Chain A
Amino acid sequence: MAKITLSNLRHSYLPNPKSAEDYALKEIDLDWEDGGAYALLGPSGCGKSTLLNIISGLLTPSEGKILFDDRDVTDLPPDQRNIAQVFQFPVIYDTMTVRENLAFPLRNRKVPEARIAERVADIAAMLEVEEMLDVRASHLSPDNKQKISMGRGLVRDDVNVVMFDEPLTVIDPHLKWKLRSKLKELHQRVRATMIYVTHDQTEALTFADQVVVMQDGEVVQIGTPVELFERPQHTFVGHFIGSPGMNVLPVSEAAGRVTFEGHTVALEGTVNGMGGSTELGIRPEFVSIADTGLEARVRKVSDVGRHSVVEAMVGDTAVKAIIEGAAPEQGAAVHLNFDQAQTRLYRDGWIATEVSS
């Protein structure tokens, strides 16, 4: 197990990258602490799989270094990095039994047979696959296949990091939840550093202690699930995380006052910097309907079970609010209130308010 450091990492799939757009990864500096559970979250094509393949050694970065416990591994091939990777589609060796599958990485490394038997038994118990050890792996269901490919990663006791590349894509929804909690449990038991790549926020937020949000080859924010939800550093994070995402509303800023559709809005604290394009960010959870406040007309109400998502028009801008209990009718005139402590200003996408203590 090891601490992983990425320093000045850049990668391009083109032979001679010129502008910033040519890079799939732009300037990544990250530390992954030993034993942490991390998630790499971002939309498809944001570079998260590229980053994963660089850590595992399947790709060599164009620039920068990867350190495992301060040892430079940038040029080492995957099998010498002692990493494990679980892929999107379960990779199993069809002609082998489950037992042979689990033993395969150890046999390739010439581990003594007695030790192999011991490790395979341990891992099988952990994954609860003991009763299928002698079944041909090709006969398993997708979720069990994915368990076995996880097991092949965990069976080696010298793994530095276990990486998951959207491992639940092919799993049935009702089994996803089970497998996810299994993963969490495994992490607590083996205490290996784990990196989980996904575009699904629920998966990322439930699995990880720390979530790294990426967009267009850049890391936008690193934080705990709570931090990402409560104080998104960038409008992208606010929009990407949450269901529905944060309201990002166009505002104008003049003489220290921020106005939205002609109304002055109270912010959480003092505003930094000036100029640029400014937007207001507030999560639908913190927009409420009251007797006074911003005048709005309800355009759409979606009942999602526990609460309703109300979309109301303030002037020409749609604002979403999450309402518990009785929701207003479509077309009704309502007043919206923004929770001041949760109302933030973003300048050129990045957060520009500070909480005054």
Chain B
Amino acid sequence: MKTENPKAWFFVLPVLFLVAFNALVPIMTVVNYSVQETFGNNVFFWQGLDWFEQILRSERFHAALGRQFLFTFLILIIEVPLGVIIALSMPRKGMWVPVCLVLMALPMLIPWNVVGAMWNIFTLPKIGLMGYLLNDVVGIAYDMTQDPFAAWVTIIIMDVWHWTSLVVLLAYAGLVSIPDAYYQAAKIDGASPWKVFRYIQLPKMKTVLTIAILLRFMDSFNIYTEPFVLTGGGPGNSTTLLSIDLVKIALGQFDLGPAAAMSLIYFAITLLVSWLFYTLMTKDDGQ
């Protein structure tokens, strides 16, 4: 049954107004820039879809997009299983629960630029603890300002350190919501620990894990501050992810048109992947 209540609009309007100002208006501004050329002084020339074409054909964009997908793929493939394993090994009852939860939440409470700065100092050769230990104690040549591979390892470890907790906390929330009876029934049915995980814990964690993966996908796909502070996109362009590249085009070169077109393409990709993933994961939940 559907009932229509015109008064409902009065409650929805303030939200619409807010959303319009913090989302729709800025996006429309970007759309405006993406189809025009400007030389300042509010003088605009119509460009049509030229900027979009230029971005989509640009090798620089392809490279940045490739790096972006590689980065997101790597952190997801590490953070999700690691988060689930940590959540499974956390205590479900007793005095250690709050201790574990606080420890897990700590990295997420640190501002992003501080995380970048911390890891920058931490990994500097000679000065930083990790840089010093690797170079002078273990004897591996490690310098993320010179070596692209070292830079990649560092941004991946940094992201894993910063965000695995999110997966842990969500997976843990899914785990503690499983009633004891399920474990008892599994014991009586003679299920092995693997089967308990496969048929009880994993299905019960599915919803929260879907959310966790979605959040981690969107956040990592749009990541800017931490790699910017840590590597600045270098050495060379080796860690120039999409958002870093975008800022370079928009604010470094002041090419507002191409930057606007790139933003919209970037946004469309994020939206499309999120939608695809969510649809696939929730497909067989209905009747």
Q: How far is the CA of A58 from the CA of B200 in the complex (A)?
A: 18
A198 adjacent to chain B (CB < 8 Å): no
Q: Give the contacting residue for B188; candidates A56, A88, A94, A96; CB below 8 A.
A: A56
Q: Which of A71-120 contact B (CB under 8 A)?
A: 77-79, 83-85, 87-89, 91, 93-96, 104-105, 108-109
B203 adjacent to chain A (CB < 8 Å): yes
Q: Name B198's closest neighbour in chain A (CB-CB).
A: A95
Interface centre among A91, A96, A104, A105 (most CB of B within 10 A): A91
Q: Give the contacting residue for B195; candidates A56, A78, A83, A108; CB below 8 A.
A: A108
B192 adjacent to chain A (CB < 8 Å): yes
- Not counting A78-B184, A88-B181, A108-B195, a sample of 5 additional A-B residue pairs whose C-beta atoms are within 8 angstroms of each other reads A56-B188, A85-B188, A87-B185, A105-B188, A108-B192
Interface centre among B181, B185, B192, B199 (most CB of A within 10 A): B185
| A to B CB contacts below 8 Å, 16 in the list | A79-B189, A84-B188, A85-B188, A88-B181, A91-B179, A91-B181, A93-B199, A93-B203, A94-B204, A95-B199, A108-B190, A108-B191, A108-B195, A109-B190, A139-B287, A152-B185
B182 adjacent to chain A (CB < 8 Å): yes
Q: Give the contacting residue for B189; candidates A53, A95, A105; CB below 8 A.
A: A105
Q: How far is the CA of A96 from the CA of B195 in the complex (A)?
A: 12
Contacts of A144 in B (CB 8 A): none
Known: A79-B190, A108-B190. A93 touches B184 (CB 8 A): no
Q: Which of B36-94 contact A (CB under 8 A)?
A: none
Query: How near does chain A come to B283, taking the closest CB pair, in angstroms?
Result: 13
**Are A85 and B199 touching (Cβ within 8 A)?**
no
**Are A149 and B185 touching (Cβ within 8 A)?**
yes
Q: Is the interface of B mostly helix, strand, loop or mixed?
A: helix
B187 adjacent to chain A (CB < 8 Å): yes
10 closest Cβ contacts across the A-B interface? Answer: A108-B190, A87-B181, A79-B190, A91-B185, A105-B189, A93-B199, A78-B187, A95-B203, A78-B188, A94-B203
Q: How far is the CA of A324 from the CA of B71 in the complex (A)?
A: 81
**Are B199 and A105 touching (Cβ within 8 A)?**
no
Q: Name B187's closest neighbour in chain A (CB-CB).
A: A78
Contacts of A53 in B (CB 8 A): 184
Query: How near does chain B come to A319, taking the closest CB pair, in angstroms?
Result: 43
Q: Name A152's closest neighbour in chain B (CB-CB).
A: B189
Q: Give the contacting residue for B190; candidates A89, A94, A105; CB below 8 A.
A: A105
Which residues of A are interface residues toward B (Cβ below 8 A)?
Answer: 53, 56, 58, 77-79, 83-85, 87-89, 91, 93-96, 104-105, 108-109, 136, 139, 149, 152-153
Q: How far is the CA of A149 from the CA of B181 in the complex (A)?
A: 11
Interface centre among B188, B191, B195, B287 (most CB of A within 10 A): B188
Contacts of B200 in A (CB 8 A): 93
Q: Is the interface of A mostly helix, strand, loop or mixed?
A: mixed
**Are B189 and A108 touching (Cβ within 8 A)?**
yes
**Are B182 and A79 touching (Cβ within 8 A)?**
no
Query: How near does chain A come to B35, taking the closest CB pair, in angstroms?
Result: 48
Q: How far is the CA of A178 from the CA of B102 in the complex (A)?
A: 50
Contacts of B184 in A (CB 8 A): 53, 56, 58, 78, 85, 87, 91
Query: How near does chain A come to B60, taking the closest CB pair, in angstroms?
Result: 45
Query: How near does chain B come to A318, taking the closest CB pair, in angstroms?
Result: 41
Taken residue by residue from 192 to 219, chain B's Cβ proximity to chain A (1 for < 8 Å, 0 otherwise) reads as 1001000110011000000000000000
Q: How far is the CA of A79 from the CA of B193 in the complex (A)?
A: 13
Q: How far is the CA of A259 from the CA of B119 in the complex (A)?
A: 89
Q: How far is the CA of A184 from the CA of B199 in the complex (A)?
A: 31
**Are A85 and B190 touching (Cβ within 8 A)?**
no
Interface centre among A56, A84, A94, A149 (most CB of B within 10 A): A94
Contacts of A83 in B (CB 8 A): 188
Query: How near does chain B come to A101, taking the closest CB pair, in angstroms?
Result: 9
Q: Give the contacting residue for B181; candidates A89, A139, A152; CB below 8 A.
A: A89
**Are A79 and B181 touching (Cβ within 8 A)?**
no
Contacts of B189 in A (CB 8 A): 79, 104-105, 108, 152
Contacts of A94 in B (CB 8 A): 203-204
Contacts of B287 in A (CB 8 A): 139
Q: Name B182's closest neighbour in chain A (CB-CB).
A: A91
Contacts of B192 in A (CB 8 A): 108
Q: How far is the CA of A322 from the CA of B195 in the complex (A)?
A: 56
Q: Name A53's closest neighbour in chain B (CB-CB).
A: B184
Contacts of B182 in A (CB 8 A): 91
Q: How far is the CA of A136 from the CA of B187 in the complex (A)?
A: 22
Taken residue by residue from 247 to 287, chain B's Cβ proximity to chain A (1 for < 8 Å, 0 otherwise) reads as 00000000000000000000000000000000000001001
Q: Give the contacting residue for A58; candidates B187, B190, B195, B204; CB below 8 A.
A: B187
**Are B195 and A85 touching (Cβ within 8 A)?**
no
Contacts of A79 in B (CB 8 A): 187-190
Q: How far is the CA of A225 from the CA of B185 in the complex (A)?
A: 30
Query: How near does chain B come to A344, taking the closest CB pair, in angstroms?
Result: 41
Contacts of A136 in B (CB 8 A): 284
Q: How far is the CA of A301 from the CA of B188 in the complex (A)?
A: 50
Contacts of B204 in A (CB 8 A): 94
Contacts of B185 in A (CB 8 A): 85, 87, 91, 149, 152
Q: How far is the CA of A79 from the CA of B186 in the complex (A)?
A: 9
Contacts of A84 in B (CB 8 A): 188
Query: How near does chain A come to B280, taking the closest CB pair, in angstroms?
Result: 16
Q: How far is the CA of A78 from the CA of B191 in the complex (A)?
A: 11
Contacts of A152 in B (CB 8 A): 185, 189
Q: How far is the CA of A77 from the CA of B189 in the complex (A)?
A: 11
Q: How far is the CA of A104 from the CA of B192 in the complex (A)?
A: 11
Query: How near does chain B come to A157, taking the closest CB pair, in angstroms?
Result: 15
Q: Name B184's closest neighbour in chain A (CB-CB).
A: A58
